[in-house]
Each structure stands twice: as structure tokens, then as C-alpha cells.
């Protein structure tokens, strides 16, 4: 079956421009996560959507970062006025409805380079 | 202090060696312990999970949890070049509204043919 997909796979932008990253989760998955992974670093949690609940935005590094999830499915992560330190791989993951243990299914990521 | 500590490596071993990957954690409330494998330019994929102290085996892989020491390990027997990847530990607890999951930094493993 189809897994988590992300687009674009690569994005090069100039400092100060806005970017939008898209995530299509696995159909039926109620939870969706965004992470940032820099070279040699672990997964930095950004934001978490669970069903119709208010998202957990506690990981967003600044107010330049925002995310929305429309219709409980597709999600868009927006970075405004990009900075060079925003360069990283942005990973999206989805999870099935809450059960005994959480299994996150990751997309391939979007590699963002801010020049 | 980070909630989850993992040595980033890299770790280089010859084919056939036994590999030991480890993580320590500070939050005794963690309930679930997972290992993810991430190949280059791919997203992480779940390898194993466990929720109790002790060992869990799956083929060449064994996950070990010691809650009293707040220490988890992943052992790979008869390592193969195809095992070369980054291995991330992850730990979760269930909170109102959903899970909180913390990932380690990942250990890069190279298995030489």
C-alpha cells in the first residue's frame, strides 16, 4: 500500500523567502508529526496533530514556523523568511489510531537548503 | 541533560560481527522503547519495539531493556553490509491526548564486507 509521501523531495531557496512543505499521510492514520533532522543530529520534534484535537506546537523553534492539517489528512509546514540555519531534512510521520503502542511511519523527507 | 542519550558513532565493524547499540534515558515514566533504522536519504522505519524490561528477539536482532538502569540496547548478530544504516532509539509515554515520543540522535553503523 501507499506509504507517507512528502513533496518536494528537495528544495533550494534564498534566505528570506517563504517555503511550503507538504505531507500526505497514510490513509486512516489519525496522528501526524513533523520533525527536523540536521546533519549528525537526532529528530527534532516540531509539531503533532492528533485527530481533531488542538495540535501540539511545543516544538516549533520560532514564530516563522507554522503548520496546518486540512480535513484530518494532508499537512503543510510553512517556514516564513527562511534563514540559513533552517537548512535540514524535514520529516513527516503518521500513526494509526491510538492503540497500545505508537508506531510512526515516516516519509522520505524534504531536503531544504537555504542559500 | 537530554532525555535520551545515544552515541552518534560512527561504528565500523567487519561483516559477521555482533553489534551492540545503546541508549540511556532519564525519564522513568517512559513506557515503550523502540528502535528505528534509517538508510541514507530515507525516512526512519520501525525495527523493533518493547514495553517491558528484558529481551525481545526478532531474527538477528535482539532488543534489551533495563528499566532499573534506564538503559536500552539493540544487538545485531551476524551483521551484514546491508545493516549499514543509522539506528535511532526512541521512547514513548502515553499522555492525555496522545503519545510523547523522544528520539535519540542515532548511531551510524558501517558493516564492512
Percent of chain B with pLDDT over 90: 76
Task: Return d(Cα B42, Cα B33) in angstroms, integer.
Answer: 22
Chain B residue at shortest CA distance from A55: B97
Question: Looking at beta carbons, which residues of chain A come within 8 Å of B43?
Answer: 4, 91, 93, 106-109
Q: Are strands A75-79 and B4-6 parallel, antiparallel or unpaired?
A: unpaired
Interface test with B, best of A34, A56, A104, A109 (most B CBs within 10 A): A104
Mean pLDDT along residues A85-109:
87
Q: What pLDDT digit, counting tens, does each position of B77-112 carry?
A: 999 999 999 999 999 888 776 778 899 999 999 999
Q: What pLDDT digit, counting tens, does each position of A25-43 carry?
A: 999 888 999 999 987 678 8
C-alpha cell at A88: 535540514
Is the bond preceding B10 in cis, omega lying within 30 degrees of 0? Answer: yes
Interface membership of A2 toward B (CB under 8 Å): no
- Res. B6: pLDDT tops 90: yes
Q: What pLDDT digit, counting tens, does each position of B23-74 carry?
A: 999 999 998 999 999 999 999 999 998 888 899 999 999 999 999 999 999 9
* Closest CB to A102 among B42, B43, B101: B101
**What's the pLDDT score for residue A110?**
97
Task: Return d(Cα A110, Cα B81) in angstroms, integer.
Answer: 27
**What's the pLDDT score for residue A19?**
98
The residue whose grid cell reads 500500500 is A1
Amino acid at each position: 500500500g501507499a506509504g507517507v509521501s512528502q513533496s518536494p523531495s528537495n528544495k533550494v531557496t534564498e534566505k528570506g523567502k517563504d517555503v511550503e512543505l507538504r505531507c500526505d499521510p497514510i490513509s486512516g492514520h489519525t496522528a501526524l508529526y513533523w520533525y527536523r533532522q540536521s546533519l549528525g543530529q537526532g529528530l527534532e520534534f516540531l509539531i503533532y496533530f492528533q485527530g481533531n484535537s488542538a495540535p501540539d506546537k511545543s516544538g516549533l523553534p520560532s514564530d516563522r514556523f507554522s503548520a496546518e492539517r486540512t480535513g484530518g489528512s494532508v499537512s503543510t509546514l510553512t517556514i516564513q523568511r527562511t534563514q540559513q540555519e533552517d537548512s535540514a531534512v524535514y520529516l513527516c510521520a503518521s500513526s494509526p489510531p491510538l492503540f497500545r503502542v505508537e508506531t510512526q511511519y515516516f516519509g522520505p523527507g524534504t531536503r531544504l537548503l537555504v542559500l | 541533560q537530554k532525555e535520551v542519550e545515544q552515541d552518534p558513532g560512527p561504528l565500523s565493524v567487519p561483516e559477521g560481527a555482533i553489534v551492540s547499540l545503546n541508549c540511556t534515558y532519564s525519564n522513568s515514566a517512559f513506557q515503550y522503547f523502540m528502535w528505528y533504522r534509517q538508510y541514507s536519504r530515507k525516512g526512519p522505519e520501525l525495527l523493533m519495539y518493547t514495553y517491558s524490561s528484558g529481551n525481545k528477539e526478532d531474527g538477528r536482532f535482539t532488543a534489551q531493556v533495563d528499566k532499573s538502569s534506564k538503559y536500552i540496547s539493540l544487538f545485531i548478530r551476524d551483521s551484514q553490509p546491508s545493516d549499514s544504516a543509522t539506528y535511532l532509539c526512541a521512547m514513548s509515554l502515553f499522555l492525555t491526548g496522545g503519545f510523547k515520543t523522544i528520539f535519540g540522535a542515532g548511531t551510524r553503523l558501517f558493516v564492512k564486507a
